[in-house]
Chain A
């Protein structure tokens, strides 16, 4: 089981707004920035959001994120068929020697 908790699946229709939650603890999300990744089948993960709600160049502003306490969430507005992918949250965990932790991933289906 992953250190960060995500629902295994989510779905929405084109144009809809969907959110994907991510739950952690005081040693990771509670004190460090959260990143979000998108992974299309057969490809490497792509950074979508970093430092809570910053988007790398090329990521549409339909993607946004928020954080409160030890939880975070990714929001996708104006859902498009090309958004169908796996989404992962990630954060540095300060416990022990420190390590990078991921959520188990959420498979987003565009109906």
Chain B
């Protein structure tokens, strides 16, 4: 069974940093791109960015709203992807999901709240 489990969410002040993790199991993690998608309360889905597999050189792309502030990385030896968030703004408050390439598998999400 495919599982994606996010962790690391919490309350952070504006301007602060937070690192989310996405632990994967049940599939060949090293061969799959991983996306991060967020959803503010009562709002729609908002793509954050993604990292490709090693075969595609671990390339990363980001949404314009987070480019330069967020960094996606992965550790294939631990079947884990990461989302490093810095210079956080109140508008970054959302549930953050990691998603396996293809869109068929999502984690349960982790809540990030940016507030003073």
Contacts and interface: CB of A to CB of B under 8 A. Distances in A.
Contacts of A101: 47
Nearest to A100: B47
Contacts of A97: 61
A88 B43 CA distance: 11
Nearest to B47: A100
Contacts of A37: 45, 103
Nearest to A6: B44
Give the bracket for the number of chain B residues in contact with chain A: 10 to 19
B103 A50 contact: yes
Interface residues of A, number: 20
A44 B35 contact: no
A37 B44 CA distance: 11
B76 interface: no
B47 A88 contact: no
A59 to B, nearest CB: 10
Contacts, number: 42
A88 B104 contact: no
Contact of A100 (B50, B104, B108): B50
Contact of A44 (B50, B63, B108): B108
Contacts of B97: 44-45
A46 B97 CA distance: 12
Given A50-B102, A50-B103, A56-B104, A100 B35 contact: yes
B61 A50 contact: no
Nearest to A44: B106
Given A35-B103, A97-B61, A99-B63, A44 B109 contact: yes
A24 interface: no
Given A45-B97, A102-B44, 4 more contacts: A44-B106, A44-B109, A45-B106, A99-B63
